[in-house]
């Protein structure tokens, strides 16, 4: 069945891949983006399609459209971008959630919130499970993003309790793939760009902190499965790859795959940067029948190929 689907942040890294998949499935897709971090180049391939439309709009202002499903992905997600204007970042998460929930309430749409593993902060529980309340610094330089996303989750569940809204909440762990921004400061794109340029690979901290890396195609599968759940299941659900790597191991893999001679240099760890990040995906396996399929080496090859073209 063809649906009218709105994707906020639709020209961003994750949003553009989601738009690709939804259009391929025959849906009418409205991509909503203010192009702060999203890029028109990410959705150029979709513009000739009659089922695809782009609207330049900031979700901190109300949106009036007709839609069946809403994916709320709008928010800068890398520290460089979300710390550039932290007040606006919080507004995007909080006012954006209020406006998109208001839209969903008016048109009786199902709405999915793209939350984040950052709601767990620098965790004392490892791996992180959905029932863990987190350890977040409410006044630090990352708080605009962490607390903004936590508040958005609160709003989603309050709209469900108060208005009976059909909500879905997913918590995204580190995701990578083609269309990541060159300058977003994320570890995968940083390492790849540095290696392809022959620059030193910069590791913040001692390199023993861990992350788990999910390829973008796997994450989009999780989005679609979550949006398709019935029987009132609303989450939150962790979406990420449970295979854990140290940052030093990631650097070694990237240098090997890029074929460069970059050497590793170490810089101080930023404030409140979490030491461990690994999802427990038991709920996703059980309720969504979802788990990642793409191995890190395979996903890195695709991502490196993309960045080679961009840098060329």
What's the confidence (pLDDT) of residue 3?
98
* Cα–Cα distance list, 204 to 67, 187, 210, 275 (Å): 43, 10, 12, 11
The residue whose two tokens read 């890294």 is 13
What's the confidence (pLDDT) of residue 196?
94
DSSP classification of residue 117: G
- The stretches of 50-176 forming alpha helices (DSSP H) are 79-82, 86-107, 143-163
d(CA 277, CA 207): 13
What's the confidence (pLDDT) of residue 272?
59
Residue 208 CB neighbours (<10 A):
12
What's the confidence (pLDDT) of residue 78?
66
What's the confidence (pLDDT) of residue 184?
81
SS3 264: strand
pLDDT in tens, the chain (312 residues): 899 999 999 999 999 999 999 999 999 999 999 999 999 999 999 999 999 999 999 999 999 999 999 999 999 876 777 787 889 999 999 999 999 999 999 999 999 999 999 999 988 988 999 999 999 999 989 889 899 999 999 999 999 999 999 999 999 999 999 999 988 878 899 999 999 999 999 998 888 888 899 999 999 999 999 999 998 999 999 999 999 999 999 999 999 999 878 888 888 877 756 677 889 999 999 999 999 999 999 999 999 999 999 998
Sort residue 137 into left (φ over 0), alpha (ψ -120 to 50) or beta. Answer: beta
Pull the structure tokens for residue 46: 């979709």
CB 90 within 8 A of CB 148: yes
- Known catalytic residues are 145
Q: Which helix (H) or strand (E) holds 29?
A: strand 28-33
d(CA 128, CA 118): 11
Contacts of 143 (CB under 8 A, 6+ apart): 86, 136, 137
SS3 137: coil
What's the confidence (pLDDT) of residue 138?
93
What's the confidence (pLDDT) of residue 206?
87
d(CA 262, CA 131): 41
What's the confidence (pLDDT) of residue 273?
67
Domains parsed from the chain with CATH numbers: 4-180+214-240+279-293 (3.40.50.720)
Pull the structure tokens for residue 5: 């689907």
């Amino acid at each position: 069945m063809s649906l009218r689907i709105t994707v906020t942040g639709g020209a961003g890294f994750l949003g553009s891949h989601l738009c690709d998949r939804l259009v391929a499935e025959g849906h009418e897709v409205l991509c909503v983006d203010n192009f702060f971090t999203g890029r028109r180049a990410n959705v150029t391939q979709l513009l000739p399609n009659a089922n695809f439309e782009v609207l330049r709009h900031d979700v901190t202002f109300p949106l009036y459209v007709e839609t069946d499903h809403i994916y709320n992905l709008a928010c800068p997600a890398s520290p460089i971008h979300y710390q550039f204007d932290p007040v606006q970042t919080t507004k995007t998460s909080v006012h954006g959630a209020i406006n998109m929930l208001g839209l969903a309430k008016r048109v009786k749409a199902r709405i999915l919130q793209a939350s984040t593993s950052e709601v767990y902060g620098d965790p004392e529980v490892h791996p992180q499970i959905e029932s863990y309340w987190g350890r977040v610094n409410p006044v630090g330089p990352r708080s605009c993003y962490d607390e903004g996303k936590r508040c958005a989750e609160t709003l989603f569940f309050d709209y469900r309790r108060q208005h009976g809204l059909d909500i879905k909440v997913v918590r995204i762990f580190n995701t990578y793939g083609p269309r990541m921004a060159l300058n977003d400061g994320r570890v995968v794109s940083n390492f790849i760009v540095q290696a392809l340029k022959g620059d030193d690979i910069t590791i913040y901290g001692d390199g023993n902190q861990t992350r788990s890396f999910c390829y973008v195609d796997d994450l989009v599968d999780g989005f679609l499965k979550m949006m398709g759940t019935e029987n009132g299941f609303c989450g939150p659900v962790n979406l990420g790859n449970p295979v854990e790597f140290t940052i030093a191991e990631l650097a070694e893999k990237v240098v090997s795959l890029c074929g460069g001679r970059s050497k590793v240099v170490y810089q101080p760890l930023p404030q409140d940067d979490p030491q461990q990040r690994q999802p427990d995906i038991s709920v996703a396996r059980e309720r969504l029948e979802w788990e990642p399929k793409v191995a890190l080496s395979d996903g890195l090859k695709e991502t490196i190929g993309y960045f080679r073209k961009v840098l060329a």
